[in-house]
Homo-oligomer: A and B are copies of this chain.
Amino acid sequence: MDSNEKAVVYVRLKEGVLDPQGLTIHKALLQMGYSDFLSVRSGRFFELEINSECADIDRKIGEVCSRLLSNPVIEEFTVERIR
């Protein structure tokens, strides 16, 4: 029996925060002739493998998201649990 759980954390810039990486990619797309792409926003994700015997998994995931994986001032995160 696999005793591990998985979770994926998606981190994206809050709405309204400038995304230089996305803007640069969008500019490159236009220069390459892909004029149907209207905007690009970039983000990061992290696939976490977690000991399923861990107590309080959801709380710990939330903690590491705001303490390590994201910058709460300018970023928001969503968590997807995979059982």
Number of interface residues of A (CB under 8 A): 34
Q: A38-B50, A44-B44, A45-B42 are in contact. Are A32 and B67 (CB under 8 A)?
A: yes
* Residue A18, interface by CB 8 Å: no
* Residue A74, interface by CB 8 Å: no
CA distance A64 to B28 in the complex (A): 10
CA distance A42 to B54 in the complex (A): 22
Query: In the complex, are the beta carbons of B42 and A43 less than 8 A apart?
Result: no
Chain B contacts of A53 at CB under 8 A? 36
Where the two chains meet, the residues of A that have a C-beta atom closer than 8 Å to any C-beta of B are 4, 10, 12, 22, 25, 28-29, 32, 34, 36-51, 53-54, 57, 60, 63-64, 67-69
